[in-house]
Amino acid sequence: MTDSMIKRFPQDEPDRRDPSRPSSEGDETSQPAGKRGPGGSPARKQRRWARERAAQGLYQQLMNPIPVDQLEAQFMEDSFMLRIDLDFFRRILRGVEQHAADLDAAIEPHLDRPVDELDPIEHAILRLGAFELIHAVDVPRAIVINEAVELAKRFGATDGHRYINGVLDRLADEVRSTEPRRDR
């Protein structure tokens, strides 16, 4: 995978602020904990970026299946990967590959169509979200669903995020029935 094949986002660019200028209002270092700007703490950003790259990799796998080691190596050619939570990226990529059939079986009852008729990006995001709900119980259900919705807003069709939200919310009710639902 060449650099030109990886979609660039504003957070991919190096921080070009002038160190002699005061921090901007939205800068997370200028705000107290709990009042951080968009994206949250550095660890949250690293996980968010890991999910973004994992979603891209899962989409690529759906479009052109290749061994996960080869896929991971392609992503590692991008220097931005040094800024993400690599362990979490690998956990998602490898976990989804290992459990793909089970994840599809878990989400299928909550779909309005067969899994193989899903838009590939929605399928990738649903697999990612289902993997986290089922196999990453250290991540709260509300965060899993919110992050999947944000991925769908960024990469998916216009209202795809609503579909993702509904499917994952119903799956969470099933697989994490004892965990409280997020506030509405």
CB 121 within 8 A of CB 161: no
- C-beta of residue 103 within 8 angstroms of C-beta of residue 130: yes
Cα within 13 Å of Cα(168), Cβ side: 34
What is the C-alpha to C-alpha distance for residues 112 and 118, in angstroms, rounded to an integer? 10
Which two structure tokens, joined as six digits, stand for 71?
């896929």
| pLDDT at res. 72 | 94
Q: Say if residues 77 and 52 touch (Cβ distance below 8 Å).
A: no
How far is 87 from 39, CA to CA, in rounded Å? 19
pLDDT digits (tens, 9 = 90+) for 157-176: 889 999 999 999 999 999 99
Higher pLDDT, 146 or 21: 146
- pLDDT tens-digit series, residues 71-86: 999 999 999 999 999 9
Q: Which residues contact 57 (CB under 8 A, 6 or more apart)?
A: 71, 72, 75, 93
pLDDT band per the 50, 70, 90 thresholds, residue 136: very high
